[in-house]
Structure 1
């Protein structure tokens, strides 16, 4: 029998056997009806994470396999937190809880544009943190405030002082000695300068009390004489030698919130980078308002001086609130703005490494269009750009625009009694600032409370890839 015939016979036999099995033997082989077991659906409001499923009425967490945890975003009450931020927040939370035992004073920097000027939002963030974790005092302030913009501390100054601001090109310092606050109070050479610090009657409860006073002085080439009085009693008489580095001098007082009158003299220009008014432990929150700017312009300051000041002040967190000055710029996309912010975010990571940062998105804003008052139509594109670049850097993003009610909310806020927004339909009033601060801190407390559930899993287990 030749090979071709054998192959034909084998083929016929296999075909026949297949026909018999198909007709007379039943197989439960119905792949179209296959179903994978699924859990009951869970409705988690305001959580867009695909990696964590919080089961109702339990303290357990189910983590599906084959999930890339590093890209997880947990959103609670409009606060979007990537995994790296949650790790940093967990560490900060533990430090805040133990600050009284460790005698640490942990700081939070609140950078922003004119939306936060006059401590309008920061005052209430500060009060909320200090009520929860301890601490007191108005925090870091300039010593020269002739317009009395900051209501949380009262400052009076005499002598040949001037302000050099990081955003003022006309009075820019060649030495870039702006420090953390982006501005320097400069006392001209061969002149006497005075400033007086007093507790403010308009300060929030905790901000009105301080015991520790710290003065930060930029590198200087001549000896600086500092004297200080409480009423008519001299309590400070220091001679500060020339230095090429940041100089900090500090004093602690048994008396709460003493009214201190300082007198300074030097043969050379003296740059005072700020004065911190704090308690001996707990948390401090600093208002750093840079009006008219779309970013804090950190690239214009001396990086080494910035880092040194940050190390002295023990920075625990940064709030970053800009965007008001981008609102008039209408564009199909805001890639250019993301580039601007990325430059600043790079510097934040360089100057304050491993510090948790929360980007606070812009608020709603309105204008008159064809005789009709309405929100700017492009605000969501600016908000989206802010959120995208924040999460790319591992920073948290608080969506203030949505938290306050979204499109048209600024109009509603301005119509409240008393109003929560000014009639420019851009800036919040102090009442509105308090509400914005409450929205932010409430979301932050909720995120902190969730950490007790995710600590042992999210930050210790290795994802299955």
Structure 2
């Protein structure tokens, strides 16, 4: 049989008409999580196929409400470049933000509980105090000191202070705010890492992770100790070259540890010159080994010797006064792990750290798994319990919660905001208000529904439609700082 071009054309036309006609027979239904399924449904059996309406509809959506932010984002990009180039002659000289080119009416403001003015006044007084530690907990959006590093530089430039704050001994991601390296025998153990077996003692400290340089033993007796060789481990602290200038100056070094059960010696060198030799306290409790210097060390080496390693919760590298801001990034965490750790150990470390402001930034890791509105409320309730647990370990530190960014998923062939994300944002804000926390909507600051696609198109977010790009990170950080600054400098 011969196939002429005309017959082939007719065949394709008929095929396309049949496929189009089939769309008239399909139906759609909305799932509990807000997503729409289209196709043929036979009991629990589902064949995906578009409906006629979705097939002929325009897949684009109105971005006018998002694009209206482009002007402010453009001006913030210029401001961010100016911040990066700042070279203050003295860390005691306040760097006053210049928002004259910014339309601050478009800035997403912070939502406060009923005692708004008192809440803001407490934060203002704490930031202006001799020393104010801020701990910024969050998920992978914070990795590499992202967001935290920019905020730290802004607050230290305005209220004084220096140093990068908390640095884990073993780092699993690039860290530009500090230059900390270690010998190869160190291992990292994070309570929030589901792939790791948890230590029965659950003593992971205020930063929910620890590092060791020997095996951990469930039981320790004299026979075991006698059979072991003494191990040596080192930590080297240099001056970072890529961080903000204020982070490169630190004179107060804290080595936080606990669970030391056998003798351990510590020797500290700067430029290979021994400057301190001591022993760690081997009583099993939490302790901070402090080193106070007159100038930033150029090349500090910490050597520790013991047959069984204590648990080391990390380093704090701070200035003599002003703002210290700790970045605590928990990849994969939804913020519901704190109350599972040892309460006394956490409390003891908090009494040493004395944080005055706690910033929590979670929700993104839960969004893809929320099935319905009940799941949203349950998650918000769990999260609230864990935040209150942490707050009770402090001396009544104030809490600001940063909600999740916009995140998109494929829905009926289109990239759309996860259906339950806007509702989660609303529930989190209401939960914060009921529990005396402040709340900042990162979702709304980006532009709200379907804004992530626009940020990706502008190069401000990664193509995973979840994380910000380096430039986008600075912009979202400046938006949050701007919201805080505007509140701290208003009396009403």
In the alignment, which residue of structure 2 is the partner of 1:427? 467
Equivalent residues of 1:106, 1:313 under 8 A apart: no
| Equivalent in the alignment of 2:122 | 91
The residue number in structure 1 matching 2:191 is 166
Contact 2:205 2:346 in 1 (8 A): yes
> Which aligned runs of 4 or more in structure 1 are off by greater than 6 angstroms?
none
The answer to which of 339-348 and 87-96 deviates more is 87-96
What residue in structure 2 maps to residue 126 of structure 1? 152
Which shows bigger deviation, 243-252 or 358-367? 243-252
- Alpha-carbon distance in 2 for matches of 1:403, 1:78: 8
Distance in 1 of aligned mates of 2:440 and 2:244: 24
Distance 2:448 2:122 in 1: 32
The aligned counterpart of 1:107 is 133
2:180 is aligned with 1:155? yes
Alpha carbons 1:85, 1:356 under 8 Å: kept: no
Q: In the alignment, is the contact (CA less than 8 A) between 1:160 and 1:191 conserved in 2?
A: no
Equivalent residue, structure 1, for 2:426: 384
The alignment partner of 1:249 has SS state of: strand
Where 1:264 maps in the other structure, the secondary structure is: strand
Distance apart, 1:76 and its partner CA:
8.0
What is residue 291 of structure 1 aligned with on the other side? 331
Distance 1:241 1:293 in 2: 32
Secondary structure (helix, strand or coil) at the match of 1:81 reads coil
Deviation at 1:353, TM superposition (A): 4.3
Q: Tell me the TM-score normalised to structure 1 length.
A: 0.76
SS at match of 2:205: coil
Q: Quote the offset at 1:85 in angstroms.
A: 5.8
RMSD: 1.9
Counterpart CA distance in 2 for 1:82 and 1:325 is 26
| Corresponding residue of 2:453 | 411
Farther off after superposition, 441-450 or 81-90: 81-90
Distance verdict in 2 for CA 1:257–1:324, change over 3 Å: farther
1:112–1:290 CA contact under 8 A, matched in 2:
yes
Confirm or deny: 8 A CA contact 2:269 2:301 kept in the other structure: yes
Q: How far, CA to CA, are the matches of 2:200 and 2:391 in structure 1?
A: 24
Determine if the alignment matches structure 1 residue 201 to structure 2 residue 241.
yes
Change (3 A) 1:400 1:254: same
Tell me if the contact between 1:181 and 1:273 (Cα under 8 Å) persists in the aligned partners: yes
- Cα deviation, 1:204-248, whole Å, max 9, x if unaligned, reads 121122111111111311122111111121112111231242111
Task: Please give the secondary structure, in 1, of the residue aligned with 2:298.
Answer: coil
Match of 2:255 in 1: 215
Match in the other structure for 1:47: none
* Structure 2 equivalent of residue 302 of structure 1: 342
Matching of residue 268 in structure 1 with residue 301 in structure 2? no
SS of 1:207's equivalent? helix
User: Kindly tell me: are residues 398 and 342 of structure 1, through their superposed partners in 2, closer, same or farther at Cα, counting changes over 3 Å?
Assistant: same
CA–CA distance in 1 between the matches of 2:323 and 2:117?
19
Tell me the SS of whatever aligns to 2:154. Answer: helix
User: What is the CA-CA distance between 1:313 and the residue it aligns to?
Assistant: 1.3
**CA shift digits 1:306-356 (9 cap, x unpaired):** 111112112010110001111212433111112211221230232124211
Matched, 1:345 2:391: no
Whether the 8 Å CA contact 2:185–2:213 is kept in 1: the answer is yes
Whether 1:365 aligns to 2:396 is no
Tell me the secondary structure at the aligned position of residue 130 of structure 1: helix
Mapped to 2, the partners of 1:408 and 1:153 lie a distance apart of: 36
1:77 and 2:108 correspond: yes
Matched with 1:355 is 397
Q: 1:180 to 1:231 in 2, by over 3 A?
A: same
> Max radius of gyration: which structure?
1
User: 2 CA distance for matches of 1:352 and 1:399?
Assistant: 25
Matched, 1:187 2:213: yes
Alignment correspondent of 1:240: 280
TM-score by length of structure 2 reads 0.72
